[in-house]
Amino acid sequence: MLKALKRWEQAGLEAEVGRHTVLQVQDEQVLALLMNDPSARRYLGEKLGPKSIVVDPAKWKKLREAALRLGLLIGDQYIDSGL
């Protein structure tokens, strides 16, 4: 514990747990298409890997609309499953 406090004193908080809405695609090209389109890109957050990216929940519907204009259908596990 003392080591952690000393490290915190020097570096501050170095990690954080949070809740995020994550968009996962089946093909990396789909994520590239979204990231390269200005109307979709503005709704995307931090890229987590080649097939996943953080999406602001408040902007989710706008991203879905932008994706639809690109010819992409994006499912929502909560809406589609009735949760």
> What's the CA gap between 55 and 35, in Å, rounded?
12
> What's the CA gap between 61 and 59, in Å, rounded?
6
The backbone torsions φ and ψ at residue 31, rounded to the nearest 5 degrees and listed phi first, read -65, -40
Residue 3, domain member (yes or no): no
Within its chain, how far is the Cα of 34 from the centroid? 12
Flag whether the pTM goes above 0.85. Answer: no
Residue 67, domain member (yes or no): yes
Residues of the domain holding 28: 16-81
* pLDDT value of position 79: 53
Residue 77, domain member (yes or no): yes
State the total domains in the chain.
Answer: 1
Residue 35, domain member (yes or no): yes
Contact between 40 and 63 under an 8 Å Cβ cutoff? The reply is yes
* pLDDT value of position 78: 60
* pLDDT value of position 43: 95
What amino acid is encoded at 83 in this protein?
Answer: L
Is the pLDDT higher at 76 or at 28? 28
pLDDT(30) > 60? yes
CATH of the domain at 28: 3.30.70.1220
